Structure 1
């Protein structure tokens, strides 16, 4: 287990039932291998809500509104349409670069993995996009490092809500709707 996941377990206890996933099928449907730290995050916590604000997407999530595969498909289509009118973030100007969403917020911000040619999934970093706007932030950390560092206050985004994180942390696993 990496240090970011250890920090998350210190911040909020994990649900008692780990989530088992068919990662081979999820990755086939997504068209990309996923980072090991994300797979471990989902195994330990499952898709869920942190501090009543940030939703971690999960392939095959019991709450279909937060299914990673559907989000990835929909976001890819939406961004391609958007980039006909708006400039792509500089990090995506490299040929073959793309984003895959891994979290969203109550306000509609989206957190993505920055996928670049020649990089393994465990080397992917995080891009944050504001809701209904063209501002992007890039963080040279993994998704679990971003989450843990955001929750413990070591990392602060100017895009995410100033009310996140809360003083007392809460994690709720997503169930069916």
Structure 2
């Protein structure tokens, strides 16, 4: 039997007994008037790619924002182009192509015909980006992570998805040569997520 909300002593309700209002009314309200959600079909159509389930759950849970003052999660509809998934996908493709055209070495993972990278996060203050390695014929949930240092040509490959990699970075278990500022300077005693609404002002989850 569902739990019920009890009115404080002396409280009078108007036409509805508060004592009989089930907690599950919130579920009915959500069904009647769904809360804001990302229009993933539209996003994926604009991107020209389906997206991994763990990423969509990350964005659905947190929205756009930053983990431990370090890893900014890109999200559709972010208040700035710097954090917007679609804007950064287009921008980073142009930046990387320009660098490769002038002789910077492409990561070996992109030697496979049809392989490409798509950004999903960046590291605060370093210019470094985290990408998915998108390989032809691979389901989005099989995409792995590539870290590209911000002010240099080096890439670091990680055989895991974005959510698992993010968890490993925050817990200090990622096998990486990067994130030194997080580990050595910030060294948070407790982990924290700050929404872009708090940091920048205004963000739609």
Partner SS for 1:166: coil
1:16-44 per-position Cα deviation (integer Å, ceiling 9, x unaligned): xx861000111111111000010011001
Aligned equivalents of 1:170 and 1:145: distance in 2?
17
For the pair 1:133 / 2:155, whether they are aligned, the reply is no
CA RMSD of aligned residues (A): 1.6
Write out per-residue CA displacement over residues 86-124 of structure 1, whole angstroms, 9 at most, x where no aligned residue.
111111110100000000011111000000011010000
Where do 5+ consecutive residues of structure 2 fail to align?
A: 1-34
The alignment of Structure 1 onto Structure 2 pairs a total of residues equal to 160
Following superposition, the deviation at residue 156 of structure 1 comes to: 3.7
Could you tell me which runs of 5 or more consecutive residues in structure 1 were left unpaired when the two chains were aligned: 1-17
- Corresponding position of 1:55: 72
TM-score (norm 2): 0.74
1:121-150: CA deviations, max 9, x gaps?
000000000011011100000000000111
Tell me the distance in 2 between the aligned counterparts of 1:90 and 1:136: 9
Q: Which residue is 1:4 aligned to?
A: none
Aligned to 2:188: 166
Structure scoring higher RCO (CA < 8 A, sep ≥ 6) equals: 1
- The TM-score normalised by the length of structure 1 is 0.85
Distance 1:116 1:47 in 2: 26
